[in-house]
Amino acid sequence: MIMSNKQESLSDYYTMAKEIAKVEKEFNIEHWVYITIDRNGDKEGEYINLYHYDLPRHIAEKYDWVIRWRTAMLQCKYPRYSVCCRHSPYRKVMGANIGMQKDLYTFIAAKAQLTKQQRDVDSYIQHEKKSNMFFNEDTDEQLIKAKEKLVRKREAVIQAEARLIEKVKQVKQSQYYTLK
């Protein structure tokens, strides 16, 4: 039960997605989309930016018809060229994109993995206590290995959180000096 297979089940994927959503909500992480509408240029590999949007994802999904309409209108305006629409999703923290996507993803993933591992350990202990009257938490090999793994995951979360906090401090400090 604790030791996961190489091929995880679909329920593990959904559990991980729920944990990631929970962490994002906890840290006020918003999903945004940068949408660009481009057309091919006269030279090969050249793109000319015709229009762009920077929107929260839920607004972009709600008003997708506006983006499709504008793309169609620009295609009619430039019939000789291929007009395309590109969506680039990203995450913002507390309403400001502070350029720390990698640190943010690392922290979110580490926190979700820690929660999943903790649930697996708790579930295993509960199951063994019910079904095995000789179960001892101190001597069970699987449980000892799982708890060691849990400690490593906790350390990973602490390190990721420290990197994230340091990055936020750097950004706030640089924004403070640029505002003066």
In tens, the pLDDT along 59-86 reads 999 999 999 999 999 999 999 999 999 9
Vertex 153, ends 150 and 155: CA angle to 5°? 115
Q: Which helix (H) or strand (E) covers residue 147, if one does?
A: helix 141-179
Q: Which two tokens stand for residue 111?
A: 């926190």
Per the model's pLDDT, the better-predicted residue between 171 and 96 turns out to be 171
pLDDT at 180: 42
pLDDT at 179: 43
- Neighbouring C-beta atoms of residue 44, cutoff 10 Å: 6
Minimum mean pLDDT among 24-28, 37-41, 108-112, 170-174: which range? 170-174
Asked whether the beta carbons of 98 and 66 are under 8 A apart, the reply is no
Where does the chain show beta strands of DSSP type E? 29-40, 47-56, 83-93
Average of per-residue pLDDT across 161-179: 69
Per the model's pLDDT, the better-predicted residue between 147 and 15 turns out to be 147
Exposure string of 106-127, with b = 16+ CB inside 10 Å and e = fewer, is bbbbbbbbbbbbeebbeebbee
pLDDT at 175: 55
Asked whether the beta carbons of 24 and 47 are under 8 A apart, the reply is no
When mean pLDDT is compared over 23-32, 40-49, 92-101, 148-157, the highest value belongs to 148-157
